[in-house]
Structure 1
Amino acid sequence: MTDPVDARLLGVVAEMGRAAVHEVAARLGMDPREVASRLVALSATGLPLLVGVECDPGRLRQAAAAAMAATSPPYGMPYPVQGTPTGPYPPSGPMPVSGPMPGPYAQSQPGHGPSGPHTVMPRTGPPSSPFPAQTQTGPPSQPFPAPIQQPMPQVEPPISTWGPPQTSTWARGDAPPQDVTQPTIRAEKPDVRQGKVGSALQTEGLEGERLSITLVEVVDPADYLFTAAGYRLQEGERSVVVHTELTNRGHVAFQSLPDLYLVLVTPDGKTISKAPVSLSSRPPHRIGVPPGETQGGHTVYVVPENTEVTSVRWSPRPDEESRALTWIIEN
Protein backbone atom coordinates (compact mmCIF):
# COMPACT_ATOMS: atom_id res chain seq x y z
CA MET A 1 0.00 0.00 0.00
CA THR A 2 1.62 3.24 -1.18
CA ASP A 3 -1.18 5.77 -0.60
CA PRO A 4 -0.54 7.57 2.75
CA VAL A 5 -4.20 8.65 2.97
CA ASP A 6 -5.34 5.02 2.81
CA ALA A 7 -2.77 4.11 5.47
CA ARG A 8 -4.05 6.85 7.85
CA LEU A 9 -7.62 5.80 7.10
CA LEU A 10 -6.97 2.15 7.96
CA GLY A 11 -5.14 3.18 11.15
CA VAL A 12 -8.15 5.17 12.40
CA VAL A 13 -10.59 2.36 11.52
CA ALA A 14 -8.38 -0.20 13.28
CA GLU A 15 -8.30 2.04 16.38
CA MET A 16 -12.07 2.59 16.44
CA GLY A 17 -12.95 -1.02 15.55
CA ARG A 18 -16.52 -0.21 14.52
CA ALA A 19 -17.68 3.27 13.59
CA ALA A 20 -19.90 5.20 11.21
CA VAL A 21 -18.37 6.65 8.04
CA HIS A 22 -19.09 10.24 9.08
CA GLU A 23 -17.31 9.68 12.42
CA VAL A 24 -14.19 8.36 10.68
CA ALA A 25 -14.30 11.30 8.27
CA ALA A 26 -14.63 13.78 11.17
CA ARG A 27 -11.53 12.38 12.89
CA LEU A 28 -9.52 12.63 9.66
CA GLY A 29 -10.99 15.94 8.50
CA MET A 30 -12.07 14.41 5.17
CA ASP A 31 -15.23 14.37 3.07
CA PRO A 32 -17.47 11.42 4.16
CA ARG A 33 -18.07 10.52 0.51
CA GLU A 34 -14.35 10.17 -0.13
CA VAL A 35 -13.93 8.10 3.03
CA ALA A 36 -16.77 5.78 1.97
CA SER A 37 -15.31 5.39 -1.52
CA ARG A 38 -11.86 4.56 -0.19
CA LEU A 39 -13.20 2.08 2.38
CA VAL A 40 -15.23 0.22 -0.26
CA ALA A 41 -12.19 0.06 -2.54
CA LEU A 42 -9.96 -1.18 0.29
CA SER A 43 -12.45 -3.86 1.35
CA ALA A 44 -12.35 -5.25 -2.21
CA THR A 45 -8.60 -5.87 -1.94
CA GLY A 46 -9.01 -8.70 0.59
CA LEU A 47 -8.39 -6.73 3.79
CA PRO A 48 -10.37 -7.83 6.90
CA LEU A 49 -12.66 -4.83 6.46
CA LEU A 50 -16.46 -4.81 6.22
CA VAL A 51 -18.31 -1.68 5.08
CA GLY A 52 -22.01 -1.78 6.05
CA VAL A 53 -25.02 0.44 6.56
CA GLU A 54 -27.78 0.74 9.18
CA CYS A 55 -31.15 2.45 8.74
CA ASP A 56 -34.66 2.95 10.10
CA PRO A 57 -36.64 0.65 7.73
CA GLY A 58 -40.03 2.29 8.28
CA ARG A 59 -38.91 5.87 7.71
CA LEU A 60 -36.68 4.85 4.81
CA ARG A 61 -39.63 3.15 3.03
CA GLN A 62 -41.75 6.28 3.57
CA ALA A 63 -39.03 8.48 2.04
CA ALA A 64 -38.67 6.13 -0.95
CA ALA A 65 -42.44 6.10 -1.51
CA ALA A 66 -42.57 9.92 -1.36
CA ALA A 67 -39.74 10.16 -3.90
CA MET A 68 -41.50 7.77 -6.29
CA ALA A 69 -44.77 9.67 -5.95
CA ALA A 70 -43.01 12.94 -6.79
CA THR A 71 -41.58 11.51 -10.04
CA SER A 72 -44.80 9.75 -11.20
CA PRO A 73 -47.05 11.52 -13.80
CA PRO A 74 -50.27 13.02 -12.44
CA TYR A 75 -53.27 10.72 -12.46
CA GLY A 76 -55.90 11.28 -15.13
CA MET A 77 -53.72 12.98 -17.82
CA PRO A 78 -55.60 12.92 -21.16
CA TYR A 79 -53.91 11.08 -23.98
CA PRO A 80 -54.57 11.87 -27.71
CA VAL A 81 -56.68 9.31 -29.58
CA GLN A 82 -55.60 8.53 -33.13
CA GLY A 83 -58.27 8.40 -35.83
CA THR A 84 -60.74 10.76 -34.09
CA PRO A 85 -62.88 12.48 -36.76
CA THR A 86 -62.43 16.24 -36.91
CA GLY A 87 -65.66 17.12 -38.76
CA PRO A 88 -69.18 17.31 -37.35
CA TYR A 89 -70.92 14.08 -36.57
CA PRO A 90 -73.81 13.03 -38.85
CA PRO A 91 -77.29 13.83 -37.52
CA SER A 92 -78.85 11.14 -35.39
CA GLY A 93 -81.79 9.17 -36.79
CA PRO A 94 -82.86 5.72 -37.90
CA MET A 95 -80.43 3.87 -40.10
CA PRO A 96 -81.82 2.61 -43.46
CA VAL A 97 -82.23 -1.16 -43.63
CA SER A 98 -81.88 -3.03 -46.90
CA GLY A 99 -82.78 -6.61 -47.74
CA PRO A 100 -85.82 -8.70 -46.87
CA MET A 101 -87.30 -8.39 -43.42
CA PRO A 102 -86.80 -11.49 -41.26
CA GLY A 103 -89.72 -13.37 -39.80
CA PRO A 104 -92.17 -16.07 -40.86
CA TYR A 105 -94.58 -13.55 -42.43
CA ALA A 106 -92.17 -11.49 -44.56
CA GLN A 107 -92.58 -11.82 -48.35
CA SER A 108 -91.55 -9.66 -51.32
CA GLN A 109 -94.19 -8.38 -53.75
CA PRO A 110 -93.99 -9.60 -57.33
CA GLY A 111 -91.86 -7.51 -59.56
CA HIS A 112 -89.63 -6.12 -56.85
CA GLY A 113 -86.09 -7.08 -56.05
CA PRO A 114 -84.67 -8.06 -52.74
CA SER A 115 -84.55 -4.44 -51.64
CA GLY A 116 -88.12 -3.50 -52.67
CA PRO A 117 -91.07 -2.80 -50.37
CA HIS A 118 -92.36 -5.58 -48.15
CA THR A 119 -95.82 -6.58 -46.94
CA VAL A 120 -96.89 -8.65 -43.99
CA MET A 121 -99.15 -11.55 -44.89
CA PRO A 122 -102.16 -11.98 -42.56
CA ARG A 123 -102.67 -15.16 -40.54
CA THR A 124 -105.19 -17.71 -42.01
CA GLY A 125 -107.68 -19.90 -40.15
CA PRO A 126 -110.94 -19.45 -38.29
CA PRO A 127 -111.21 -16.53 -35.95
CA SER A 128 -110.83 -17.26 -32.27
CA SER A 129 -114.01 -17.27 -30.19
CA PRO A 130 -114.39 -16.84 -26.43
CA PHE A 131 -114.79 -19.90 -24.21
CA PRO A 132 -118.39 -20.50 -23.05
CA ALA A 133 -119.03 -19.73 -19.44
CA GLN A 134 -119.56 -22.72 -17.15
CA THR A 135 -122.99 -22.98 -15.57
CA GLN A 136 -123.07 -23.81 -11.87
CA THR A 137 -125.38 -26.83 -11.28
CA GLY A 138 -125.14 -27.36 -7.50
CA PRO A 139 -126.93 -25.63 -4.64
CA PRO A 140 -125.76 -22.17 -3.75
CA SER A 141 -122.94 -21.99 -1.22
CA GLN A 142 -123.82 -20.98 2.33
CA PRO A 143 -121.53 -18.90 4.54
CA PHE A 144 -119.72 -20.80 7.29
CA PRO A 145 -120.87 -19.95 10.79
CA ALA A 146 -118.30 -18.04 12.88
CA PRO A 147 -116.67 -20.22 15.56
CA ILE A 148 -117.56 -19.52 19.16
CA GLN A 149 -114.59 -18.19 21.15
CA GLN A 150 -114.05 -20.42 24.16
CA PRO A 151 -112.14 -18.95 27.12
CA MET A 152 -108.68 -20.47 27.61
CA PRO A 153 -108.20 -22.19 30.94
CA GLN A 154 -105.60 -20.68 33.23
CA VAL A 155 -102.66 -23.04 33.53
CA GLU A 156 -100.22 -22.67 36.39
CA PRO A 157 -96.58 -22.65 35.28
CA PRO A 158 -94.82 -25.91 36.12
CA ILE A 159 -92.44 -25.92 39.00
CA SER A 160 -88.92 -26.76 37.86
CA THR A 161 -87.52 -29.77 39.59
CA TRP A 162 -83.93 -28.79 38.99
CA GLY A 163 -84.15 -25.09 39.77
CA PRO A 164 -83.58 -22.06 37.53
CA PRO A 165 -81.13 -22.41 34.66
CA GLN A 166 -77.41 -21.83 35.12
CA THR A 167 -77.49 -22.95 38.78
CA SER A 168 -76.32 -26.06 40.56
CA THR A 169 -78.79 -25.84 43.47
CA TRP A 170 -81.73 -28.17 44.03
CA ALA A 171 -85.18 -26.57 44.03
CA ARG A 172 -87.38 -27.33 47.01
CA GLY A 173 -91.04 -26.50 47.41
CA ASP A 174 -90.48 -24.97 50.85
CA ALA A 175 -87.51 -22.73 49.95
CA PRO A 176 -87.03 -20.12 47.20
CA PRO A 177 -84.26 -20.68 44.64
CA GLN A 178 -80.92 -19.06 45.29
CA ASP A 179 -79.55 -16.18 43.25
CA VAL A 180 -77.80 -17.03 40.01
CA THR A 181 -74.08 -16.45 40.16
CA GLN A 182 -72.78 -14.73 37.02
CA PRO A 183 -69.51 -16.04 35.59
CA THR A 184 -66.49 -13.84 36.09
CA ILE A 185 -65.08 -12.39 32.86
CA ARG A 186 -61.37 -11.73 33.03
CA ALA A 187 -60.17 -8.83 30.94
CA GLU A 188 -56.96 -9.20 28.98
CA LYS A 189 -54.00 -7.80 30.87
CA PRO A 190 -52.56 -4.70 29.20
CA ASP A 191 -48.97 -4.67 28.04
CA VAL A 192 -46.51 -3.81 30.81
CA ARG A 193 -44.25 -0.91 29.79
CA GLN A 194 -42.09 -0.44 32.93
CA GLY A 195 -40.15 -2.85 35.11
CA LYS A 196 -36.83 -3.71 36.70
CA VAL A 197 -33.68 -5.39 35.43
CA GLY A 198 -34.52 -8.99 34.53
CA SER A 199 -38.18 -8.37 33.64
CA ALA A 200 -39.81 -8.80 30.22
CA LEU A 201 -41.91 -5.88 28.91
CA GLN A 202 -44.35 -5.94 25.98
CA THR A 203 -44.90 -3.34 23.24
CA GLU A 204 -45.58 -2.90 19.52
CA GLY A 205 -43.26 -2.00 16.66
CA LEU A 206 -43.83 0.57 13.92
CA GLU A 207 -45.26 -2.11 11.59
CA GLY A 208 -47.58 -3.62 14.21
CA GLU A 209 -45.10 -6.23 15.47
CA ARG A 210 -45.93 -7.78 18.86
CA LEU A 211 -42.67 -7.59 20.82
CA SER A 212 -41.48 -8.77 24.22
CA ILE A 213 -38.11 -7.33 25.32
CA THR A 214 -36.17 -8.53 28.36
CA LEU A 215 -33.38 -6.53 29.99
CA VAL A 216 -31.18 -9.45 31.04
CA GLU A 217 -28.17 -7.70 32.55
CA VAL A 218 -26.49 -4.31 33.04
CA VAL A 219 -22.71 -4.41 33.57
CA ASP A 220 -21.57 -1.07 35.03
CA PRO A 221 -18.67 -0.49 34.93
CA ALA A 222 -17.55 -2.79 32.11
CA ASP A 223 -14.08 -1.37 31.55
CA TYR A 224 -12.45 -4.80 31.66
CA LEU A 225 -14.68 -6.04 28.84
CA PHE A 226 -14.01 -2.87 26.87
CA THR A 227 -10.22 -3.06 27.13
CA ALA A 228 -10.17 -6.85 26.58
CA ALA A 229 -11.72 -6.24 23.15
CA GLY A 230 -8.79 -3.97 22.20
CA TYR A 231 -10.39 -0.57 22.88
CA ARG A 232 -8.99 2.25 24.98
CA LEU A 233 -10.97 4.56 27.23
CA GLN A 234 -10.03 8.21 27.56
CA GLU A 235 -9.24 9.78 30.90
CA GLY A 236 -12.46 10.27 32.90
CA GLU A 237 -14.54 7.73 30.93
CA ARG A 238 -16.12 4.40 31.81
CA SER A 239 -17.98 1.81 29.76
CA VAL A 240 -21.37 0.16 30.33
CA VAL A 241 -22.64 -3.04 28.69
CA VAL A 242 -26.37 -3.84 28.45
CA HIS A 243 -27.64 -7.32 27.53
CA THR A 244 -31.19 -7.48 26.04
CA GLU A 245 -33.32 -10.16 24.35
CA LEU A 246 -36.15 -9.45 21.88
CA THR A 247 -38.96 -11.97 21.23
CA ASN A 248 -41.29 -11.52 18.26
CA ARG A 249 -44.71 -12.70 19.55
CA GLY A 250 -46.73 -11.77 16.44
CA HIS A 251 -46.92 -12.74 12.80
CA VAL A 252 -45.08 -9.70 11.35
CA ALA A 253 -41.30 -9.83 11.06
CA PHE A 254 -39.33 -7.24 13.02
CA GLN A 255 -36.93 -5.82 10.42
CA SER A 256 -34.95 -3.25 12.41
CA LEU A 257 -31.92 -3.46 14.71
CA PRO A 258 -33.21 -4.39 18.19
CA ASP A 259 -30.99 -1.88 20.04
CA LEU A 260 -31.12 0.92 17.46
CA TYR A 261 -32.77 3.29 19.97
CA LEU A 262 -31.77 1.60 23.26
CA VAL A 263 -30.44 4.42 25.49
CA LEU A 264 -29.25 5.02 29.03
CA VAL A 265 -31.13 7.62 31.09
CA THR A 266 -29.58 9.87 33.75
CA PRO A 267 -31.37 11.35 36.80
CA ASP A 268 -31.97 14.66 34.98
CA GLY A 269 -33.66 12.89 32.04
CA LYS A 270 -30.77 13.08 29.59
CA THR A 271 -30.15 10.09 27.32
CA ILE A 272 -26.90 8.44 26.25
CA SER A 273 -26.79 6.58 22.92
CA LYS A 274 -24.79 3.46 22.25
CA ALA A 275 -21.15 3.55 21.15
CA PRO A 276 -20.20 2.29 17.66
CA VAL A 277 -18.19 -0.64 19.02
CA SER A 278 -18.80 -4.35 19.57
CA LEU A 279 -17.18 -6.81 21.94
CA SER A 280 -15.85 -10.18 20.86
CA SER A 281 -16.87 -11.80 24.16
CA ARG A 282 -20.36 -10.24 24.12
CA PRO A 283 -21.75 -10.38 20.55
CA PRO A 284 -23.92 -7.47 19.36
CA HIS A 285 -27.49 -7.56 18.05
CA ARG A 286 -28.27 -8.55 14.46
CA ILE A 287 -30.83 -6.85 12.23
CA GLY A 288 -34.25 -8.50 12.06
CA VAL A 289 -36.20 -11.00 14.21
CA PRO A 290 -38.61 -13.41 12.42
CA PRO A 291 -42.03 -14.20 13.95
CA GLY A 292 -41.86 -16.62 16.87
CA GLU A 293 -38.09 -16.26 17.41
CA THR A 294 -35.95 -14.72 20.15
CA GLN A 295 -32.60 -13.01 19.55
CA GLY A 296 -30.23 -11.46 22.08
CA GLY A 297 -27.29 -9.10 21.91
CA HIS A 298 -25.08 -6.71 23.86
CA THR A 299 -24.94 -2.93 23.55
CA VAL A 300 -21.87 -0.90 24.61
CA TYR A 301 -21.93 2.65 26.01
CA VAL A 302 -19.12 5.07 26.87
CA VAL A 303 -20.14 7.59 29.56
CA PRO A 304 -18.36 10.13 31.76
CA GLU A 305 -16.87 8.44 34.79
CA ASN A 306 -19.09 10.24 37.35
CA THR A 307 -22.37 9.94 35.40
CA GLU A 308 -25.17 8.11 37.24
CA VAL A 309 -27.41 5.84 35.17
CA THR A 310 -30.91 5.38 36.64
CA SER A 311 -32.76 3.50 33.88
CA VAL A 312 -32.58 1.93 30.41
CA ARG A 313 -35.17 2.88 27.79
CA TRP A 314 -36.16 1.19 24.49
CA SER A 315 -38.32 2.70 21.76
CA PRO A 316 -38.91 1.89 18.08
CA ARG A 317 -38.26 5.56 17.31
CA PRO A 318 -37.27 8.50 19.56
CA ASP A 319 -40.62 10.28 19.02
CA GLU A 320 -42.73 7.18 19.86
CA GLU A 321 -43.13 7.69 23.59
CA SER A 322 -46.39 5.69 23.72
CA ARG A 323 -44.49 2.50 22.74
CA ALA A 324 -41.37 3.08 24.86
CA LEU A 325 -40.21 0.59 27.53
CA THR A 326 -38.31 1.56 30.69
CA TRP A 327 -36.29 -0.57 33.12
CA ILE A 328 -35.37 0.99 36.47
CA ILE A 329 -31.81 0.34 37.69
CA GLU A 330 -31.65 -0.06 41.46
CA ASN A 331 -28.38 0.79 43.15
Structure 2
Amino acid sequence: MDVRLLSTLAEAGRASIVDVALRAGVDPREAAARLTALGGQGGMGLPLLVGVECDPQGIRAAVTQLAPPAIQQAPPPPPPPPAAAPIQHPVPRYTAPPPAPRASRGKVGQKLGTDTLSVHLVEVMDPADFLFTAAGHTLTEGQRAIIVHTEITNHGAETFTVLPDRYLVLITDDGQVIGKSDATMNSRPAHRAGVAPGETVGGHTIFLLPEPARLTAVRWDDDADPDNGALHWEIPAP
Protein backbone atom coordinates (compact mmCIF):
# COMPACT_ATOMS: atom_id res chain seq x y z
CA MET A 1 0.00 0.00 0.00
CA ASP A 2 2.87 2.38 0.78
CA VAL A 3 4.32 1.79 -2.70
CA ARG A 4 0.98 2.60 -4.37
CA LEU A 5 0.57 5.78 -2.34
CA LEU A 6 4.12 6.95 -3.03
CA SER A 7 3.88 6.10 -6.74
CA THR A 8 0.60 7.99 -7.08
CA LEU A 9 1.99 10.99 -5.19
CA ALA A 10 5.16 10.97 -7.33
CA GLU A 11 3.06 11.11 -10.51
CA ALA A 12 0.83 13.94 -9.21
CA GLY A 13 3.55 15.87 -7.45
CA ARG A 14 0.97 17.82 -5.51
CA ALA A 15 -2.52 16.61 -4.73
CA SER A 16 -4.99 16.42 -1.93
CA ILE A 17 -5.14 13.41 0.33
CA VAL A 18 -8.52 12.53 -1.12
CA ASP A 19 -7.18 12.57 -4.71
CA VAL A 20 -4.14 10.47 -3.80
CA ALA A 21 -6.30 7.97 -1.91
CA LEU A 22 -8.79 7.65 -4.77
CA ARG A 23 -6.04 7.09 -7.34
CA ALA A 24 -4.28 4.53 -5.12
CA GLY A 25 -7.54 2.84 -4.13
CA VAL A 26 -7.00 3.48 -0.44
CA ASP A 27 -9.29 4.89 2.24
CA PRO A 28 -8.50 8.62 2.60
CA ARG A 29 -8.08 8.31 6.37
CA GLU A 30 -5.66 5.41 5.95
CA ALA A 31 -3.81 7.30 3.22
CA ALA A 32 -3.40 10.36 5.46
CA ALA A 33 -2.10 8.24 8.34
CA ARG A 34 0.41 6.33 6.14
CA LEU A 35 1.77 9.39 4.35
CA THR A 36 2.16 11.21 7.67
CA ALA A 37 4.09 8.23 9.01
CA LEU A 38 6.33 8.05 5.89
CA GLY A 39 7.33 11.68 5.88
CA GLY A 40 8.35 14.27 8.45
CA GLN A 41 9.90 13.82 11.87
CA GLY A 42 9.59 10.36 13.39
CA GLY A 43 8.97 8.76 9.98
CA MET A 44 11.20 7.42 7.20
CA GLY A 45 12.35 10.90 6.31
CA LEU A 46 10.96 10.83 2.76
CA PRO A 47 10.77 14.19 1.01
CA LEU A 48 7.04 14.70 1.32
CA LEU A 49 4.88 17.07 3.31
CA VAL A 50 1.35 16.22 4.31
CA GLY A 51 -0.55 19.49 4.64
CA VAL A 52 -4.05 20.91 4.84
CA GLU A 53 -5.49 23.86 2.94
CA CYS A 54 -8.79 25.54 3.77
CA ASP A 55 -11.10 28.50 3.19
CA PRO A 56 -10.49 30.52 6.37
CA GLN A 57 -13.84 32.34 6.29
CA GLY A 58 -15.77 29.12 5.71
CA ILE A 59 -13.90 27.34 8.50
CA ARG A 60 -14.66 30.16 10.92
CA ALA A 61 -18.36 29.93 10.05
CA ALA A 62 -18.31 26.17 10.57
CA VAL A 63 -16.56 26.53 13.91
CA THR A 64 -19.21 29.02 15.02
CA GLN A 65 -21.96 26.55 14.16
CA LEU A 66 -20.20 23.60 15.79
CA ALA A 67 -19.23 25.41 18.97
CA PRO A 68 -21.52 24.57 21.93
CA PRO A 69 -23.85 27.44 22.91
CA ALA A 70 -22.62 29.60 25.72
CA ILE A 71 -24.28 28.81 28.99
CA GLN A 72 -26.12 31.84 30.20
CA GLN A 73 -26.08 32.07 33.92
CA ALA A 74 -29.36 33.08 35.47
CA PRO A 75 -29.20 36.35 37.36
CA PRO A 76 -29.02 35.91 41.11
CA PRO A 77 -32.39 36.05 42.85
CA PRO A 78 -33.30 39.42 44.32
CA PRO A 79 -32.68 39.80 48.02
CA PRO A 80 -35.70 39.07 50.20
CA PRO A 81 -37.73 42.12 51.20
CA PRO A 82 -37.06 43.45 54.68
CA ALA A 83 -39.30 42.02 57.32
CA ALA A 84 -42.30 44.25 57.90
CA ALA A 85 -42.60 45.72 61.32
CA PRO A 86 -45.52 44.22 63.26
CA ILE A 87 -48.66 46.32 63.13
CA GLN A 88 -49.39 47.75 66.50
CA HIS A 89 -53.04 48.40 67.14
CA PRO A 90 -53.83 51.12 69.63
CA VAL A 91 -55.20 49.77 72.85
CA PRO A 92 -58.57 51.36 73.51
CA ARG A 93 -58.64 53.25 76.72
CA TYR A 94 -61.73 54.06 78.66
CA THR A 95 -61.71 57.55 80.04
CA ALA A 96 -63.99 57.83 82.98
CA PRO A 97 -66.21 60.93 82.95
CA PRO A 98 -65.47 63.53 85.59
CA PRO A 99 -67.23 62.94 88.89
CA ALA A 100 -70.62 64.50 89.36
CA PRO A 101 -70.81 67.61 91.50
CA ARG A 102 -72.12 66.73 94.95
CA ALA A 103 -73.92 70.01 95.69
CA SER A 104 -77.63 69.36 96.23
CA ARG A 105 -78.93 72.93 96.55
CA GLY A 106 -78.44 75.89 94.28
CA LYS A 107 -80.01 78.50 92.04
CA VAL A 108 -81.08 78.72 88.41
CA GLY A 109 -78.03 78.35 86.14
CA GLN A 110 -76.16 76.04 88.51
CA LYS A 111 -75.32 72.35 88.10
CA LEU A 112 -76.13 70.00 90.97
CA GLY A 113 -75.37 66.30 91.17
CA THR A 114 -75.69 62.86 92.71
CA ASP A 115 -73.13 60.05 92.71
CA THR A 116 -73.88 59.14 89.10
CA LEU A 117 -75.75 62.10 87.56
CA SER A 118 -75.48 65.84 87.36
CA VAL A 119 -78.41 68.10 86.46
CA HIS A 120 -77.91 71.60 85.12
CA LEU A 121 -80.92 73.89 85.51
CA VAL A 122 -80.30 76.11 82.49
CA GLU A 123 -83.44 78.27 82.42
CA VAL A 124 -86.93 78.68 83.88
CA MET A 125 -89.41 80.57 81.66
CA ASP A 126 -92.31 81.80 83.81
CA PRO A 127 -94.71 82.53 82.28
CA ALA A 128 -94.39 80.83 78.88
CA ASP A 129 -98.03 81.23 77.83
CA PHE A 130 -97.18 82.77 74.45
CA LEU A 131 -94.90 79.89 73.41
CA PHE A 132 -97.39 77.34 74.71
CA THR A 133 -100.34 78.73 72.75
CA ALA A 134 -98.19 79.41 69.66
CA ALA A 135 -97.44 75.67 69.59
CA GLY A 136 -101.18 75.00 69.25
CA HIS A 137 -101.96 74.21 72.89
CA THR A 138 -104.76 75.77 74.92
CA LEU A 139 -104.62 77.02 78.49
CA THR A 140 -107.72 76.69 80.61
CA GLU A 141 -108.90 79.72 82.52
CA GLY A 142 -106.71 80.39 85.53
CA GLN A 143 -103.72 78.39 84.18
CA ARG A 144 -100.26 79.49 83.14
CA ALA A 145 -97.46 77.60 81.40
CA ILE A 146 -93.87 77.32 82.63
CA ILE A 147 -90.98 75.87 80.58
CA VAL A 148 -87.92 74.44 82.36
CA HIS A 149 -84.72 73.78 80.39
CA THR A 150 -82.34 71.19 81.92
CA GLU A 151 -79.24 69.24 80.87
CA ILE A 152 -78.41 65.82 82.32
CA THR A 153 -74.89 64.29 82.40
CA ASN A 154 -74.37 60.60 83.17
CA HIS A 155 -71.22 60.07 85.27
CA GLY A 156 -71.93 56.39 85.93
CA ALA A 157 -70.88 53.25 84.10
CA GLU A 158 -74.39 52.27 82.97
CA THR A 159 -76.93 53.96 80.72
CA PHE A 160 -79.59 56.03 82.45
CA THR A 161 -82.57 54.47 80.70
CA VAL A 162 -85.51 56.62 81.82
CA LEU A 163 -86.55 60.07 80.64
CA PRO A 164 -84.11 62.53 82.23
CA ASP A 165 -86.92 64.84 83.42
CA ARG A 166 -89.04 62.06 84.88
CA TYR A 167 -88.16 63.14 88.41
CA LEU A 168 -88.40 66.90 87.77
CA VAL A 169 -91.12 68.75 89.73
CA LEU A 170 -92.01 72.31 90.71
CA ILE A 171 -92.69 73.51 94.26
CA THR A 172 -95.11 76.38 94.92
CA ASP A 173 -95.28 78.78 97.85
CA ASP A 174 -98.19 76.87 99.36
CA GLY A 175 -96.25 73.56 99.27
CA GLN A 176 -97.86 72.03 96.19
CA VAL A 177 -95.71 69.62 94.15
CA ILE A 178 -96.49 70.04 90.45
CA GLY A 179 -95.53 67.28 88.03
CA LYS A 180 -94.70 67.83 84.39
CA SER A 181 -97.25 68.09 81.59
CA ASP A 182 -97.40 65.69 78.66
CA ALA A 183 -97.46 68.62 76.22
CA THR A 184 -94.45 69.18 73.95
CA MET A 185 -93.34 71.92 71.54
CA ASN A 186 -91.21 71.72 68.42
CA SER A 187 -89.57 75.04 69.27
CA ARG A 188 -88.47 73.67 72.65
CA PRO A 189 -87.59 69.95 72.14
CA ALA A 190 -88.42 67.58 74.96
CA HIS A 191 -85.99 65.15 76.60
CA ARG A 192 -85.41 61.76 75.02
CA ALA A 193 -85.06 58.53 76.96
CA GLY A 194 -81.59 57.17 77.65
CA VAL A 195 -78.35 58.90 78.62
CA ALA A 196 -75.19 56.87 77.88
CA PRO A 197 -72.17 56.92 80.24
CA GLY A 198 -70.27 60.18 79.78
CA GLU A 199 -73.06 61.71 77.68
CA THR A 200 -74.84 65.02 78.27
CA VAL A 201 -78.34 65.57 76.88
CA GLY A 202 -80.67 68.53 77.12
CA GLY A 203 -84.39 69.05 76.86
CA HIS A 204 -87.38 71.14 77.85
CA THR A 205 -90.18 70.27 80.24
CA ILE A 206 -93.60 71.98 80.32
CA PHE A 207 -95.51 72.56 83.56
CA LEU A 208 -99.03 73.96 84.02
CA LEU A 209 -99.63 75.91 87.25
CA PRO A 210 -102.52 77.90 88.65
CA GLU A 211 -102.05 81.57 87.82
CA PRO A 212 -101.94 82.82 91.40
CA ALA A 213 -99.44 80.17 92.59
CA ARG A 214 -95.91 81.45 93.10
CA LEU A 215 -93.05 79.20 92.04
CA THR A 216 -90.49 78.84 94.83
CA ALA A 217 -88.29 75.90 93.75
CA VAL A 218 -87.44 73.32 91.09
CA ARG A 219 -86.64 69.86 92.40
CA TRP A 220 -85.21 66.72 90.85
CA ASP A 221 -85.88 63.72 93.10
CA ASP A 222 -85.12 60.13 92.03
CA ASP A 223 -87.49 58.10 94.18
CA ALA A 224 -85.80 54.89 92.99
CA ASP A 225 -82.45 56.01 94.45
CA PRO A 226 -83.18 57.73 97.77
CA ASP A 227 -79.55 57.45 98.91
CA ASN A 228 -78.52 60.07 96.37
CA GLY A 229 -80.94 62.63 97.79
CA ALA A 230 -82.94 65.33 96.00
CA LEU A 231 -81.55 68.25 94.00
CA HIS A 232 -83.14 71.59 94.87
CA TRP A 233 -82.96 74.93 93.03
CA GLU A 234 -84.49 77.93 94.75
CA ILE A 235 -86.51 80.43 92.73
CA PRO A 236 -86.28 83.94 94.21
CA ALA A 237 -89.45 85.96 94.68
CA PRO A 238 -90.15 88.48 91.90
CA offset digits 1:19-68 (Å, max 9, x no partner): xxxxxxxxxxxxxxxxxxxxxxxxxxxxxxxxxxxxxxxxxxxxxxxxxx
**Shift in alpha-carbon separation, 1:238–1:189, aligned structure 2, 3 A:** closer
Match of 2:110 in 1: 199
Give the ranges of 4+ consecutive aligned residues of structure 1 lying more than 4 Å apart after TM superposition: none
Look up the equivalent residue of 1:276 and give its one-letter code: D
**Shift in alpha-carbon separation, 1:190–1:198, aligned structure 2, 3 A:** closer
Look up the equivalent residue of 1:262 and give its one-letter code: L
Confirm or deny: 8 A CA contact 1:315 1:321 kept in the other structure. no
Where does the alignment leave 5 or more consecutive residues of structure 1 unmatched? 1-187, 205-209
RMSD over aligned Cα, in angstroms?
A: 2.0
CA offset digits 1:217-237 (Å, max 9, x no partner): 000000011001100111111
Find the aligned partners of 1:305 and 1:292 in 2 and give their Cα distance. 39
**Shift in alpha-carbon separation, 1:189–1:262, aligned structure 2, 3 A:** closer
- 1:248 aligns to 2:154 (yes or no): yes
Look up the equivalent residue of 2:102 and give its one-letter code: D
Find the aligned partners of 1:189 and 1:253 in 2 and give their Cα distance. 15
- 1:228 aligns to 2:139 (yes or no): no
- Which of 185, 188, 192 lines up with 1:282 in the alignment? 188
Confirm or deny: 8 A CA contact 2:164 2:191 kept in the other structure. yes
CA offset digits 1:69-109 (Å, max 9, x no partner): xxxxxxxxxxxxxxxxxxxxxxxxxxxxxxxxxxxxxxxxx
CA offset digits 1:189-217 (Å, max 9, x no partner): 9710000000000114xxxxx11110000
Confirm or deny: 8 A CA contact 2:101 2:111 kept in the other structure. no
Match of 2:143 in 1: 237
Find the aligned partners of 1:259 and 1:304 in 2 and give their Cα distance. 21
Find the aligned partners of 1:190 and 1:222 in 2 and give their Cα distance. 30
Q: CA deviation at 1:269?
A: 2.2
Find the aligned partners of 2:182 and 2:204 in 1 and give their Cα distance. 12
Larger-gyration structure (1/2): 2
Match of 1:217 in 2: 123
Look up the equivalent residue of 2:131 and give its one-letter code: L
Find the aligned partners of 2:167 and 2:179 in 1 and give their Cα distance. 7
1:302 is paired with a residue whose SS is strand
Q: CA deviation at 1:268?
A: 2.9
**Shift in alpha-carbon separation, 1:296–1:314, aligned structure 2, 3 A:** same
2:114 is paired with a residue whose SS is strand
1:227 is paired with a residue whose SS is helix
Confirm or deny: 8 A CA contact 1:264 1:309 kept in the other structure. yes
Match of 2:226 in 1: 320
- How many residue pairs get aligned? The number is 139
2:141 is paired with a residue whose SS is coil
Residue identity over aligned pairs, in percent, reads: 53
Confirm or deny: 8 A CA contact 2:100 2:117 kept in the other structure. no
2:150 is paired with a residue whose SS is strand
Q: CA deviation at 1:287?
A: 0.5
List aligned pairs for 1:35-184, cutoff 5 A.
none
Find the aligned partners of 1:318 and 1:300 in 2 and give their Cα distance. 23
Look up the equivalent residue of 1:192 and give its one-letter code: A
CA offset digits 1:264-292 (Å, max 9, x no partner): 00123220001111011000000010001
Find the aligned partners of 1:245 and 1:193 in 2 and give their Cα distance. 15
2:184 is paired with a residue whose SS is coil
**Shift in alpha-carbon separation, 1:327–1:318, aligned structure 2, 3 A:** farther
